[in-house]
Structure 1
Amino acid sequence: MSLFDLIGNYRWDAKVVLVLAAFATKYGEFWNLTQLYPCDTLAASIMRLKKLPYKLRVLKPQIKALSLLVKTMMDVAMCIIKFEAMPLQHVELGNDVLIVTKFSDSTIIAAWELSSLAYRLSNIYSILKDQVDVCQQEIERNLHVKLLSLVDEMQNDNQKILNLLFASNNYLSLKDCPTQVKLGVSELKNKIVLLLISKPKLFSLEELLLLVQQTCDHHLSESYKIVWVPLPSSDTWTDSEDTSFNFLSDSLPWYAIWKPRSLRSAVVKYIREEWNYNEEPLMVVLDSNGKVTNNNALDMINIWGARSFPFSASKEAELWQDQNLTMQLLLSDINPLLAYWVKEGKNLCIYGSENLAWIKQFNDNITQLKKTGLQLETIYVGNSKLSEQHIKEIMATTTAKNLSVLLSFTKLQFFWLRLESMRRSKLRQGKTPSSDHVLEELSTLLEMNDKEQGWAVFGSGSLTNIMRLQGEKVMELLKKYHEWGENVPKLGLLGAIRNFLDPTFVAGPCSHFYLVPSSEEVITQGSVICEICMHPMKKFVVYQP
């Protein structure tokens, strides 16, 4: 009884575990000695000192009853632990559930005879298990109803929804991954919260590194917090999913759920149904009042990084407004040197191919152009499907001649991942390639990535558009530089190329305009490109009497 006095202030699940541990110590010692005493003199001596029986065959009925009792004790312990883990603070339970629970607690230790105790405990376990299951169902139902009702409620902060999402009897339901410190949701009060929902495996390495780059090391990092919410592919966690979560949660620079296994099924159901989670990563944004402002901010963060703050859907639409496909958009968030070149307004050429012969011919032509005085920086981006080994072989060839700026394999993947994010973001805005010039260019670039022939995109950091060419057209342009190179100082690189390819081209913005009714989609779809000069058109509102 002294043990029960010592643990009197502990929770019931802790009491059960401690009592079982104490019992297991004695029970295990007994079985260890009985197995060793026939061939171990020390074990035999200890049994004599403790007056333990040698002939176990006589005690077979008692041992069988004891084994049954131990199994039943384990079942009851697991049931009590399950009950204690329920977030009762979030749901009002009926008195009948609590009465049964109190009855079971007081009778677990009330039996005298071993065999009858096992029988009585088994009956108690059956009753307790049924009541705990009813209690859990009620909790899940009420929790789901509360989550649904929060959509229409005005909140002063984000604490109510976060406490419901991470409902637990343990108020420290989060952890800071870098420090492994346990945290409560109160740490997220008055902050924008980005819930990164994914499988326990999360992303590929390159996708993960891109997201880390875009969300860390800037002055806004304390204004918002990312919380990783891993969900298993099925209703139960596998060992491999556990391993993935434990590894990543020790490495990421964000917050994570302390015990993702403890997420309530009502919460998982809500995430899958209301936020449309279908195994693909999501980043749901909650503002400081707990309102969902973006169902998936992942792509906009991959594109613009900290410039996406506060990560709302309206901010995403604002960033796309009047945004054309430029070298700045394509390159600025990949490499500091490229960002500097864009800022300086340098002439740039992005090119890609997996054909070593084409790449060598391209670089030989570029070398000849540079010898004539053409200022042009070339950046090789390969394609998204090339293996790292293949990329290294190509880099070894170009590095030997110092022909191009070479990005690491990871940075090359950043380029293509951002292109994919741009396309998804545009599609999420309701755009189509036929109605949106930027989406049309993005789709064409990604289609070129799927083809074996080489391609090149020319542009300048100071210009609001680019020019793309494929295969032999690239080589034809470079070989005939003597026909258009003299126009570069006057028209700029893109202007000279366009004038060569299309003699009717008008250098610089033209004076062309056209009027459309305010009801037409073109008014709100973002940037519109002039069909004559290929420059973005400015928008003006004209009122007619």
Structure 2
Amino acid sequence: MSQSKPAKLPNPFDLSDSQILDKVYLTHLHDDDKCDKDILLNIVSNVILKTRFAESRAAVTSFHPEFRVLKLISCQMINTPRGEHHVHQTTMWILQHLKTYSWDAKILVTLAAFTLEYGNLLYLIQTPTSDPLVNSLKQLNQVQNRKVPAADLVLPITEVLKNIQEWATWSSVGYDSVEVPSLSDALQEIPVLVYWTIASIVAATGNLVGVSDYALSRFTERLSLANSNLKEHLKLSKNQIDSVEDYLTRKKAFSNPKDIVDFLKLLIQRNGSNLLIHDGSTKMKTDVEVFRQKHVLLFISGLDRVRDEILLLNSIHDRLKENPKEVIKGFKKEDFVILWIPIVDLWDDEQEHKFNLLKNIIKFYAVECFSELPGLGLIREKFNYWGKPIVPVLNPQGDSMNEDAMDLIFQWGIDAFPFRKSDGYDLTLKWKWFWDVTRKVNLGIEVKGDRYIFIYGGADKKWVQDFTMAVEKTKRHETVLRADVMIEHYHLGKDEPKIVPRFWIEIESKRLKKHHQDPLDCEIQDIVKSLLCLKQDPQGWAILTKGYNVKLLGHGEPMYETLKDLEIWKDKVLQKEGFDIAFKEYYDTKLKDMIARQPCEFLNVGNENANVIATITCPNPTCGRVMDVTSVHYKCCHNDAPENGKI
């Protein structure tokens, strides 16, 4: 009966890295066995490199692993027969024997085992033969037939040790694999590198004892290649670790910034650098100090589909510049600025081109940094930014006044100043009563946040017809469509005339009778008065809203003229924050023209009626308020009406 032949041992140079990885990783269990790495490395380096890695210390009498482990591995290497396939066999034996040691310890223990024989030979060669004992040892060790292998292998191995130990040190910190993925990638290279390091030591031992004459350059080439791969991963790991450490440092400082400038530096400025800021109003560069003592609207977004947001913020910027010393709710408009932080996953020529196009149209400040922001992690964590444009509002101390004012600004515009959540709540209350009225009388108006609505009516049927046609023409205009402006209109009483008196009765009922009113009550009363003035306009009236935000209470003639003259002001629709701003600017000019043609009214009823005190409404349609009685004169009171129809 014939016996099966033993499996042929592979030549290590015929194995791919993936094959070696599979074989080596199966031999590794855990890192439980103790190895005094510093002591062992110091001793080995003193023998091989003739220099110490660590400071000199008193003689060490014992360490781990013990002498018998080193001698056993040394003997196994000495007894390795000639042939590269036998080198592979011994290498796998050593890896199996050291299966419970760490990766760097496997190399270090094998190198120490090699040093036992190498150091002994080196000592005997260098010691004079006059000593009979040394001379006898030389003969026993057959020194005359042996030579010390080239030291070319020693330096690469010590570099491998250094690299693996660096990897082991970083891995022991416990960095998140998501934050430092290259550490995990490096682990794919280490078993291959350990294999070729130990195989090189086994081959060098064969040369040392004279049983073989391997070309060690073949081993060192594979060793160097594996080491180069590891170094690339370590380089990436270092960058990733630096980012993590930088993030942790920034996060610690971020919890208690000195002021807004310190806060912004943590987000956008690398340590030691002085990042310049693009000033959209001057097209010049400035630095972060421009934000000191400022409230900052921090516009955070990508580069795609942000034109509407930019135009909106351009308009806010313009409105902040109008009467900048004005104080609203205790805040000066001039103390508020806008800063854009563009977030891009990977900056390339295309992304830079997009940014430069947008940079040309913005009027506010922008961060110009064509690499990943150092504070990107803080931006995601602090502001919960994941791609949707947001506008956090920060005070001069770097504290948050509003985590995201974007929706607030879209709905209310500059009326939301100073852009706190409470300001949006106040505005909602300011107009809640009006929308409650529309629901109570069942007007059937469907309000959507991004849509404009004209609510209108009046006694002049021709004006109503003309205005309806003008709105229809406007909503279909090319410029309006290009600006993504959606317009709807509602003619009060068109289908149910009885709704008209019910609507105005409900408006009238909102007049408060109490003597002590809070500021919101006073605002509502002014709005009620303005609405009742509109009712008196002989032509008609119109209310323009955007969502629940009532943008304009308008008189018939200037409202219609504004729509009719759309060709004159259409370009401003694309330049402004929206249709309503461009509309109101033109409406205001038409209203001034109308008022100029219809000055304040004075009626004299004559002395014979001096004792008659009657209630007479101002005949000027832009006023419509009850006239003050002074002696026998009726004097118009609309001098104190809201200027230019402002509400």
TM-score (norm 1): 0.40
Greater RCO (CA < 8 Å, at least 6 residues apart): 1
TM-score (norm 2): 0.35
